[in-house]
Amino acid sequence: MRLSSPSSASCSRLLGLRLGSGVGAGWGYLLTSGLLVAACGSSDAPATASAGGMAANNGGLPASAGSPTSGGSAVVSGGATAGGGAAAGGRNVGGATTAGATGTAGTSVGGATGSAGSNGSAGSNGSAGSNGSAGSSGSAGSGGSASGGSTSTGPDQCKAIGWATRSGRTGGAVSVTGGGNAAPTVVNNFADLAKYASDATARVIHIDGTLGAGWSGTTGDRLEIKSNKTIIGLRAGTQLKAAIHIKDASNVILRNVVIRGPGSNQDQAWDNINIEGSSKNVWVDHSEFWDGQDGNADVVKGPDNVTFTWNIFGYTTNGGHNLSNLIASSDSEPESDGKLDITFMFNWWVAAAERKPRCRYGEIHVVNNLFTADTSVGPSNLGVTNGFSCNVLTENNHFIKEKEPIDLGKQTGTGSVQQAVGNLFENTTGNQQGSGTAFTPPYEYKSFMVPASQVKALVQKNAGATLASPTACSSP
């Protein structure tokens, strides 16, 4: 959208999201004390998705181990097969077997123990890493027992986080399920995808192959997504040659797709993805948005409760409008007042000039993201921008070669503030300081938030359409 005016057991948590039983796709990551191990494949380059494997869940999804001491991070194992070692494509770092034998105990760097799978017992204490002491015994997964630890079911795997999981700004928790338990519909042409995505039926849709014929301006293929939909690329790097439009829809999940726009310019045009109207509880995960003609991913005109996780927002050419993520298109947008609450976590902005994001009205949480400039593509002008009446918490991010990473130049209107805390600035210029105290997120996230020093490696390896299959995080 074009800009129209200036503008625990303690530490016993695993990072991983679940789309709901039967949908079976998810983050596929386990996190303990800041070190994440990818079980669903990864990408070392932003534009290239690799089809890494996933860990089988037959032996149960592990819960995290005991608390590590400072000086090191615990290494957890990838999933283990029932009674066996790591599944094909999965990672087994010090893991053993489950189903009542030794749990998936990882060696400890600074030292916590490995975790136990469902019905399995936890492994013994990990050895201490450099400058760290060995952690205490871990707690078991659901149904398991831990040696020296208490029983803990741990968080549900592969489930949305952040503002997408809330009802409005002040309401309670909401489950984002998309199409829920609907039997997956596999589509291999754009006409079928468009038909099923826009109907009134709850659906899980798997995209098989490269679909769509592209677009320019406001002409060409555009995918309309309505309520109660889960849309997932069938394999890593699945390309969709169509803009995406989510309007007046709720409970939507989009994952594992690559959208490449026609390149930025000054024309009024479709965004790569646009979320607007009364849309709410939308989760966009493990996707890539490149070279948007207008914007890469804009949220405008009244939506609420949106989360972006593990995405890439990037540019490969400079068309003079490399303005990536706009939240509200005007200082006069009353339908957005009290709404536009959005979480950005574990995303990567690549060679964007501005709007990373640039917001009005909302309560915006920008946490554990990576920002990298590329002058061979175009300039970096502004980073995270709080505009009219926008309240921003910018937390534990890593900015590299960015200009004005914390932009306060458009801070106007009641309640406009940006709190900058725990961020890492590497070869940046311009302001690094916030302007006050932001809102307190109403959802739990600190158990899997990592220090800014760990963000670069983690995000560069895992962000983007990197999931090997829609069942990358199926339930045990």
- pLDDT tens per residue across span 118-165: 333 333 333 333 333 333 333 333 333 333 333 333 334 367 899 999
**Cα gap 60→104, rounded to integer Å:** 10
In this prediction, residue 471 carries a pLDDT of: 77
Same domain for 95 and 167, yes or no, is: no
Same domain, 320 and 421: yes
Task: Give me the pLDDT at residue 266, please.
Answer: 81
Cβ-count burial of 435 within 10 angstroms (0-12 exposed, 13-18 middle, 19+ buried)? middle
Q: Say whether both 50 and 169 belong to one domain.
A: no
Residue at 160: amino acid letter? A
> Do 96 and 240 fall into the same domain?
no
At 343 the pLDDT is 98
Q: What is the pLDDT of residue 473?
A: 63
* Whether residue 389 sits in one domain with residue 256: yes
Angle subtended at Cα 355 by Cα 354 and Cα 358, rounded to the nearest 5 degrees:
140
pLDDT of residue 308: 97
Q: Is 219 contained in some domain? A: yes
Hey, CA dihedral for 119, 125, 126, 132, is it positive or negative? positive
Write the CATH number for 312.
2.160.20.10
Query: Is 172 found in the same domain as 230?
Result: yes
Is residue 369 included in any domain, yes or no?
A: yes
Q: Which domain holds residue 154?
A: 8-159
Q: Is residue 416 part of a domain?
A: yes
Write out the DSSP string of 70-134. TT--BPPP--B-TTSSBPTT---SS----TTSB-BPPPBSS----B--TT-B--PPPPP-TT---
Structural contact between residues 244 and 273, judged by C-beta atoms closer than 8 angstroms: yes
pTM: 0.70
Q: Is 21 exposed, middle or buried (0-12, 13-18, 19+ CB in 10 A)?
A: exposed
Same domain, 78 and 27: yes
Looking at the fold, whether 184 and 333 belong to one and the same domain comes out as yes
Of the residues 110, 132, 159, the one at which a domain ends: 159
Q: Report the distance separating Cα 63 and Cα 57, nearest Å.
A: 12
Number of structural domains in the chain: 2
Whether residue 207 sits in one domain with residue 151: no
DSSP state, 193?
H
Whole-number pLDDT of residue 78: 31
Same domain, 51 and 138: yes
Would residue 470 count as lying in a domain?
no
Considering the domain architecture, whether residues 114 and 192 belong to the same structural domain is answered as no
Kind and range of the H or E run holding 455: helix 452-462
Q: Is residue 453 part of a domain?
A: no
- For residues 366 and 314, state if they share a domain: yes
Q: Is residue 56 part of a domain?
A: yes
Q: Does 109 reside within a domain?
A: yes
Q: Is residue 462 part of a domain?
A: no
- Of 123, 139, 159, the position where a domain reaches its end is 159
Q: Give me the residues of the chain with pLDDT under 70, please.
A: 1-158, 473-476
CA-based nearest residue to 415, from 355, 454, 359 = 359
Distance (Å, whole) CA 382 – CA 390: 16
